[in-house]
Amino acid sequence: MSEGKQTSAGKQTSAEGSQHRDGRDPSGSSKRRPPRREWNRRTENSPGPVRAGGPANSPGPVRAGGPAKSAGTARAAGPSKSLKDGVCPISRKCGGCDYQGIEYEKQLQKKEAHIRFLLKDAVKTIHPILGMKDPLHYRCKVHAAFDHDGKGNPISGIYEKNSHIVVPMDSCMIEDENADAIIVSIRNLLRSFKIRTYDEDTGYGLLRHVLVRKGYATGQYLVVLVVTSPVFPGKNNFVKALRKEHPEITSIVLNINDLDTSMVLGERNIPIYGPGSITDELCGHKFRISPNSFYQVNPAQTEILYRKVLQYADLTGKEEVLDAYCGTGTIGIIASDKAGHVTGVELNKDALRDAVSNARGEKIRNIDFICDDAGDYLSSLNGLLDIGQKAAMPDVIIMDPPRTGSTPAFIKAAALSGAKTIVYVSCGPDTLARDLDLFEELGYEALEAQPCDLFPYTAHCEVVVRLRRFG
């Protein structure tokens, strides 16, 4: 999939997002500097542009207020009603939606054609793409940057491409509408609580960003206020006032980020209401989502994608399964119902910690997680076997690498392991095509591929491929 472990908040994205604009800097201030937010891929598995604001895939405009102080940006766009002919009024400044103004059916056709073009020589059967019934407001993770205009009025929205200028925005066609409304309510409360937004140039001010995460199946909302100090004036009354308008909020967290950094989230989280996290459910399993944890931004489609992964894995209850590049363990945990044993391997230790806690929370006993490079881990298993030791050799490998794809070391070790079935989940179809070529050289046939649209209005697409060992 596509979002990697997220190290900054934002929509999903990998930092690649931010495209370029006309390059003018009306402010002459440092706000024109390109965003440096990093998303580990998928850290966002996300595709797309990056900016702290829109998903990488995300489009998404920002919430509003007046024009950004130095930018002369567009006025607050009201919710979707301001879409003219289906086109978001600030799409050019935002840059999150590659397919702005294109009918959804056409978007799907374009994605499918692209996948067919890339995979036609590598995969026997390519199924029609699975799209969304309702492709709007699917993002369950919504981020807004905060700033103030020339008169000191708070504004909130997305960063203009390649800059730190906040383009005011109240709603975005791909973001959860309620999450957008929560952000507007927070902005409206700031004045009465005398909370100042952070000024990147001077370093003064308290509120830098707001991140809202929604549990798709549970309807729980987590609000993360990214602030420069743990001292938040009138904290209890602020919580009360916000929850009065939005009783659906089940947790509010102060995330302390006092560094001169482009990363959205700092490392310290202080819950000021509720447990500091929310829960969501995917394929019958519960997953905890905390401010920094990686979780797919479009859970509805993720569930469809995961079911396809399980179908292709074709487990009978006996198999040893390797969930390589496991992130927070979602795929492995879901597969554990139907496997003998699962081993999840992940390089990022924070993601791994979440994976362990997700499995514990679900009381799953037939899964273990290992913090290692996936290729090194599999090579070391092969090494054990070579010297006659016991090793949990996988019957089935499920792999879900970052957009950059897998590595020859991993693919060679996978082939050496003798796994009969490999299910490859990819958010980077070009690297997928490259990796499938190597798998073929090493004895694996790609039988079928299923494209799945997790990121409507962006050019990104997930694909699941079923590979079988020859003979």
Give catalytic residues, as residue numbers: 427
User: 55 — alpha (psi -120 to 50), left (phi > 0) or beta?
Assistant: beta
CB of 377 to ligand SAH, least distance (A): 8
SS3 state of residue 178: helix
Task: Please report, as residue ranges, which positions from 239 to 298 form the binding site for ligand SAH (by CB under 6 A).
Answer: 296
Task: Please report, as residue ranges, which positions from 169 to 208 form the binding site for ligand SAH (by CB under 6 A).
Answer: none
Task: Name 168's bridge partners.
Answer: 157
Task: Name 209's bridge partners.
Answer: 145, 226
Based on the shown chain and the rule CB under 6 A, indicate whether residue 40 belongs to the binding site for ligand SAH.
yes
Based on the shown chain and the rule CB under 6 A, indicate whether residue 402 belongs to the binding site for ligand SAH.
yes
- Of 91 and 296, the one with the shorter C-beta distance to ligand SAH is 296
CB of 323 to ligand SAH, least distance (A): 7
- Of 346 and 395, the one with the shorter C-beta distance to ligand SAH is 346
Task: Please report, as residue ranges, which positions from 287 to 326 form the binding site for ligand SAH (by CB under 6 A).
Answer: 296, 325-326
CB of 231 to ligand SAH, least distance (A): 34
- Of 27 and 431, the one with the shorter C-beta distance to ligand SAH is 431
Rounded to whole angstroms, how far apart are CA atoms 387 and 18? 50
Based on the shown chain and the rule CB under 6 A, indicate whether residue 4 belongs to the binding site for ligand SAH.
yes
CB of 324 to ligand SAH, least distance (A): 7
CB of 347 to ligand SAH, least distance (A): 4
- Of 98 and 323, the one with the shorter C-beta distance to ligand SAH is 323
Q: Which of 11, 42, 111, 164 binds ligand SAH (CB under 6 A)?
A: 42
Burial-class residue 159 by CB neighbours within 10 Å (0-12, 13-18, 19+): buried
**Residues 191 and 238 sit within 8 Å (Cβ to Cβ):** no
Contacts of 328 by beta carbon, 8 Å cutoff, 6+ apart = 5, 287, 293, 294, 295, 351, 354, 355, 358
Rounded to whole angstroms, how far apart are CA atoms 65 and 121? 51
Q: Which of 342, 345, 414, 423 binds ligand SAH (CB under 6 A)?
A: 345
CB of 109 to ligand SAH, least distance (A): 26
Q: Which of 91, 162, 348, 379 binds ligand SAH (CB under 6 A)?
A: 348
Based on the shown chain and the rule CB under 6 A, indicate whether residue 45 belongs to the binding site for ligand SAH.
yes
Which strand ranges, in their side-by-side order, compose the sheet holding 444-452? Answer: 123-126, 444-452, 462-469, 421-426, 396-399, 320-324, 341-346, 367-371
Burial-class residue 239 by CB neighbours within 10 Å (0-12, 13-18, 19+): middle
- Of 100 and 330, the one with the shorter C-beta distance to ligand SAH is 330
From 41-49, 70-78, 100-108, 258-266, span contacting ligand SAH (CB under 6 A): 41-49
- Of 227 and 326, the one with the shorter C-beta distance to ligand SAH is 326
Burial-class residue 258 by CB neighbours within 10 Å (0-12, 13-18, 19+): middle
Based on the shown chain and the rule CB under 6 A, indicate whether residue 347 belongs to the binding site for ligand SAH.
yes
Q: Which of 331, 335, 397, 432 binds ligand SAH (CB under 6 A)?
A: 331
From 92-100, 172-180, 327-335, 442-450, span contacting ligand SAH (CB under 6 A): 327-335
Task: Name 465's bridge partners.
Answer: 424, 449
**Tell me, what amino acid is at 360?**
R
Q: Which of 206, 374, 433, 465 binds ligand SAH (CB under 6 A)?
A: 374
User: 376 — alpha (psi -120 to 50), left (phi > 0) or beta?
Assistant: alpha
Rounded to whole angstroms, how far apart are CA atoms 248 and 295? 20
Beta strands of 16-117 (E only): which ranges? Answer: 41-44
**Number of residues written out for the chain:** 471
Based on the shown chain and the rule CB under 6 A, indicate whether residue 379 belongs to the binding site for ligand SAH.
no
Q: Which of 346, 435, 453, 462 binds ligand SAH (CB under 6 A)?
A: 346
CB of 369 to ligand SAH, least distance (A): 11
Which residue in the shown chain puts its C-beta closest to ligand SAH? 327
Rounded to whole angstroms, how far apart are CA atoms 330 and 310? 12
Rounded to whole angstroms, how far apart are CA atoms 268 and 266? 6
Rounded to whole angstroms, how far apart are CA atoms 320 and 38? 34
- Of 312 and 325, the one with the shorter C-beta distance to ligand SAH is 325
Q: How many CB atoms lie within 10 A of CB 150?
A: 10
The label of the residue with tokens 């997928």 reads: 432
Contacts of 365 by beta carbon, 8 Å cutoff, 6+ apart = none
Based on the shown chain and the rule CB under 6 A, indicate whether residue 330 belongs to the binding site for ligand SAH.
yes
Based on the shown chain and the rule CB under 6 A, indicate whether residue 335 belongs to the binding site for ligand SAH.
no
- Of 235 and 353, the one with the shorter C-beta distance to ligand SAH is 353
CB of 412 to ligand SAH, least distance (A): 14
- Of 222 and 427, the one with the shorter C-beta distance to ligand SAH is 427
Which chain residues interact with ligand SAH by CB under 6 A?
A: 1, 4-5, 40-42, 45, 296, 325-327, 330-331, 345-348, 351, 373-374, 400-402
